[in-house]
Amino acid sequence: MGTMLFQILYLVGYFFTNTFQMTKQITSLEDYQSTYKYSIENPENFWEEQANTFNWFKPFDKILEWNFEEPEIKWFVNGKLNITYNCLDRHIEVKGNQVAILWEPNNPNENVKKYTFKTLLSEVNKCANALKAKGITKGDRVIFYMPMVPELAIGVLACARIGAIHSVVFAGFSARALADRVDDAQAKMIVCSDYNNRGNKCIQVKQVVDDAMDLSCNSIETVLVHQNTGGEVNWSDDCDVWWHDLVDNQSDVCEPEWMDSEDMLFILYTSGSTGKPKGVVHTCGGYMVYTCYSFKNVFQYKEGDVYWCTADIGWITGHSYIVYGPLLAGATTMMFEGVPTYPDAGRFWSICEKHKVNQFYTAPTAIRALMAKGDEWPQKYDLSSIKVLGSVGEPINVEAWEWYDKHIGKGKAPIVDTWWQTETGGILITPLPGITDTKPTFASYPMPGVQPVLVDTEGNEKIGNGIEGLLCIKFPWPSMLRTTYGDHDRCCQTYFSPFKGYYFTGDGAKRDEEGRIRIIGRVDDVINVSGHRIGTAEVENAINAHPEVIESAVVGFPHEIKGQGIYAYVIVDGNINSNDEFISEVLKVVVKEIGPIAKPDEIQIVSGLPKTRSGKIMRRILRKIASKDISNLGDISTLLNPEVVDEIIEQAGLKA
C-alpha cells in the first residue's frame, strides 16, 4: 500500500517535472532591472511563477497572507510539498548520476566521497527509515551536533523527508550551549559523531553530547552516533545507537511526507542582544522557493559547474547554500571537512584546483587570515576555473576585497558581497555577478522581491540616495523567519515592534549616490566575531558564572583578522591570587558556558563600570576605550560615576 502511494506520488511529481521549467536565471542588467521592477509591482505574481517551477503534491491556493503586526506570514497557502522531493527525486530522471555532494576530507591524502543524486536519495531514505524506526515522526525535533561529514547533510535531509524538524548546533558549542538548545527545542533525538577531524586536532564530539545529557536533555530518547574516526567512546545502552547498526540496512525507499507550505522545516539558534539564543523558525514552501531562486541567480550556476561554500552546516549559510539551495537547483555542491590552514595555508586554493571549483563562497575572516599568510599560497595553484567569488557574514574591508579580487579572482571573477541573516533564510542584498556592477564594501542591490528601506530612529523612511539609516525590509519575502521557537512574542518584540510595519534587521546601512547599499554593521548589542554572531549579554552571563565576578560588560572592538574581537570589563569580588590566573579561569568559564568562539580577546579588571543615573551601563564609552579611541567620549559628566572612566582609560594604557 505504502509503495503504491509512493508510486502515485512519483507519477504526480514526474508529471510536474516535465511540465514546468527550472527556476529562472537573470541574464543581463536590463533583465535584472525589469525583473526587479516587476517583482515589486507584482510580488505575488512574481513569486507564483518561481513557485511553479517546483513539484507540489497539491498546488497552493493563495500566494501570500501577511501582517507585520502579529506577525503572521504565510506563503503558498495550503500548498503541499516535500523539499527533499524537490532536492532529489525530481532530478533523478535527468541527472541521477551527476554528483550532488562532493565531499573533501580534512586529510588531503584520504579519499574524496561522491554522492550522485541517486545515491544521495538512497542514503537519505535509509536514514529517514532509521529515524522512523526510532519513533521519530512529523513535527518531532532532532538535534544535530556533528562535524562536516556527509552524514550531516544526509541526516538533515532525512528529517525533512519525514517531516521531522532539524536543528543543527555548530559542533564548536559547549555541552551547556548544546543542552540549552536541546531543552528549548524539546528534541527527541541527538545525531552526533564520535570525533571530529579538524586540522591536526581530533575533537571529542560524543563526549560533549554525553556531558550535555548529564546536564539535562530530558526529552532525548535516542543518541544516534556516526562513527567518523573510530576512536573509543563511552556508551550508554539505554539511548546510544550506532549509525552503521541502525541506518545501513534500512530500505532505501521512503515516501516523502506531505508537508504544508507553512509546516516547520527547521529551527536554527542564533544570538540576539538579550538573553539566551533564540530558535529562528523557517518553514517548507517559502524557504524552498527562495533558497533555490537566490542560489541560481547570485552564483549564476550553470549545468556542470562545481560550487563550493566553505561555511559549516551549523550556520544558516550552510543550510541555505551548501545543502538546500544548491540541491534544489540540481547543482554539484562541495562539503569540506577541514580548515583553511591545514595542512598549510594553501588548502583552499589546492581544493579549488583539484575540483575545478567554479563558484567559491567564503567569509571575510578566512580571506583576511589567508591574505596574512602571503600571496605565494594562491600563486601555487591553478585557479582559472573560478568564475564567481562570494563573501558572507560580516562587512568585508577594502584590503581584503582587493586581495580576493586580485589574487583569487585574478580580476576576472566578480565578487558578490552577500548580505543576509539567519532570519532572512537567504541572500537579500548582493551584486549579481557579471550583471550588476561591484564596488568594494558594498552589498549593493536588493534581490528581486526584496524591498529594503533605511529608516531614522523614529521609523520614518529616509528617501533618496547619499543617506544613512537603520536597515529594514518593508514587504515579506518567501524565506523570512516565521517565529522564534516557543516564543512568538520575542519574535515580534525583536524584529517587528521596533519600527511599525517593518522587519528590522538590527543593522545600520548607507545608500550611496547611485543607490548601492553598504552595510555598516549591527546597531544592537550583537557582535560579529569571524562572521559568527555573539550576544554581549550571553558572554556577560557566562563570565558572571565565575564565582569571583561581581559584574561584567562586554563590547566589540575592531580586530584585524576576526573583524570584531570581544573585550570584557570585569569587576572582581575580593582577592584574587593573580590577574593572569583569574583571566585564564574566566576564559575557561566562557568556553564551558558557550564555546571557544565566545572567548574574550581582552579582559580588563576594573573597579567599576560607567553607568547612567538610571543604572544603565554606558557601552558607548566602553566601546571607544576598547577601540583605543578616546578622542571623543562625549559628555560624561552626567554619569553616576564619571571618575571610573579615567581609571579605566589609564589602566588600559591609553593615557601617557
Instruction: Note whether 506 binds ligand WT7 by CB under 6 A.
Output: yes
User: Smallest distance from the beta carbon of 49 to ligand WT7, in angstroms?
Assistant: 26
User: Smallest distance from the beta carbon of 654 to ligand WT7, in angstroms?
Assistant: 28
Instruction: Note whether 510 binds ligand WT7 by CB under 6 A.
Output: no
- Please select the residue that binds ligand WT7; options are 103, 293, 419, 567, rule is CB under 6 A: 419
Question: Rounded to whole angstroms, how far apart are CA atoms 113 and 192?
Answer: 19
Q: Which x/- pattern over 611-630 shows residues binding ligand WT7 (rule: CB under 6 A)?
A: --------------------
Instruction: Note whether 179 binds ligand WT7 by CB under 6 A.
Output: no
Using the rule CB under 6 A, give the single segment among 312-320, 375-383, 448-456, 607-615 that binds ligand WT7. 312-320
User: Smallest distance from the beta carbon of 507 to ligand WT7, in angstroms?
Assistant: 5
- Please select the residue that binds ligand WT7; options are 124, 316, 587, 590, rule is CB under 6 A: 316
Instruction: Note whether 519 binds ligand WT7 by CB under 6 A.
Output: yes
469 vs 506 by CB, closer to ligand WT7: 506
User: Smallest distance from the beta carbon of 402 to ligand WT7, in angstroms?
Assistant: 16
User: Smallest distance from the beta carbon of 323 to ligand WT7, in angstroms?
Assistant: 14
Q: Which residue is nearest to ligand WT7 (CB)?
A: 422
Instruction: Note whether 365 binds ligand WT7 by CB under 6 A.
Output: no
Cis peptide before 343 (omega within 30 of 0): yes
50 vs 418 by CB, closer to ligand WT7: 418
120 vs 554 by CB, closer to ligand WT7: 554
Other Cβ atoms closer than 10 A to 411: 7
Question: Rounded to whole angstroms, how far apart are CA atoms 421 and 268?
Answer: 11
Q: What is the DSSP letter of 144?
A: E
Instruction: Note whether 504 binds ligand WT7 by CB under 6 A.
Output: no
User: Smallest distance from the beta carbon of 91 to ligand WT7, in angstroms?
Assistant: 26
Residue type for 34, please?
S
User: What phi and psi values does residue 524 have, to the nearest 5 degrees?
Assistant: -105, -170
Using the rule CB under 6 A, give the single segment among 69-77, 156-164, 351-359, 504-512 that binds ligand WT7. 504-512
DSSP string, 602-640: EEEEES---B-TTS-B-HHHHHHHHTT--TT----TTSS
User: Smallest distance from the beta carbon of 443 to ligand WT7, in angstroms?
Assistant: 5
- Please select the residue that binds ligand WT7; options are 76, 420, 496, 567, rule is CB under 6 A: 420
Q: Which x/- pattern over 291-310 shows residues binding ligand WT7 (rule: CB under 6 A)?
A: --------------------
List the one residue out of 557, 528, 588 whose CA is nearest residue 652.
Answer: 557
175 vs 443 by CB, closer to ligand WT7: 443
Pairing mode of beta strands 452-455, 259-260: unpaired
Number of H helices, E strands in the chain: 22, 30
Helix (H, G, I), strand (E, B) or coil at 453: strand
Residues 6+ apart with CB under 8 A from 528: 393, 394, 521, 522, 534, 556, 563, 564
Applying CB under 6 A, the site for ligand WT7 has a residue count of: 23
Using the rule CB under 6 A, give the single segment among 6-14, 61-69, 183-191, 416-424 that binds ligand WT7. 416-424
Using the rule CB under 6 A, give the single segment among 11-19, 131-139, 397-405, 419-427 that binds ligand WT7. 419-427
Residues 6+ apart with CB under 8 A from 33: none
| Residues 529-568 interacting with ligand WT7 (rule: CB under 6 A) | 533
270 vs 350 by CB, closer to ligand WT7: 270
Instruction: Note whether 378 binds ligand WT7 by CB under 6 A.
Output: no
Cα distances (Å, whole numbers) of residue 420 to 80, 103, 136, 519: 27, 26, 32, 10
What is the Cα gyration radius of the chain? 25
Q: Write out the E strands in 186-233.
A: 189-193, 195-198, 201-204, 222-226
76 vs 504 by CB, closer to ligand WT7: 504
Which residues on neighbouring strands pair with residue 452, listed in sequence order?
473
| Residues 246-285 interacting with ligand WT7 (rule: CB under 6 A) | 270
User: Smallest distance from the beta carbon of 509 to ligand WT7, in angstroms?
Assistant: 9
User: Smallest distance from the beta carbon of 424 to ligand WT7, in angstroms?
Assistant: 7
Question: Rounded to whole angstroms, how far apart are CA atoms 521 and 318?
Answer: 22
- Please select the residue that binds ligand WT7; options are 283, 494, 528, 536, rule is CB under 6 A: 528
Q: Cell 537567504 identifies what position?
A: 426
Apex 40 CA angle, 38 and 45, nearest 5 = 60
Cα four-point dihedral sign 347, 154, 332, 253:
positive
- Please select the residue that binds ligand WT7; options are 50, 174, 196, 422, rule is CB under 6 A: 422
50 vs 391 by CB, closer to ligand WT7: 391
List the one residue out of 227, 223, 229 whose CA is nearest residue 209.
Answer: 223
Instruction: Note whether 213 binds ligand WT7 by CB under 6 A.
Output: no
| Residues 424-443 interacting with ligand WT7 (rule: CB under 6 A) | 443
| Residues 386-405 interacting with ligand WT7 (rule: CB under 6 A) | 392-395
Residue type for 568, please?
A
User: Smallest distance from the beta carbon of 521 to ligand WT7, in angstroms?
Assistant: 6
Instruction: Note whether 357 binds ligand WT7 by CB under 6 A.
Output: no
Residue type for 251, please?
S
Taking the chain, what is the end-to-end CA distance rounded to the nearest angstrom? 83
DSSP string, 28-50: SHHHHHHHHHHHHHSHHHHHHHH
Instruction: Note whether 317 binds ligand WT7 by CB under 6 A.
Output: yes
Helix (H, G, I), strand (E, B) or coil at 365: helix
Cβ(307)–Cβ(333) below 8 Å: yes
Helix (H, G, I), strand (E, B) or coil at 227: coil
Question: Rounded to whole angstroms, how far apart are CA atoms 630 and 621?
Answer: 8
Per CB under 6 A, residues contacting ligand WT7 are 270, 315-317, 392-395, 417-422, 443, 505-507, 519, 521-522, 528, 533
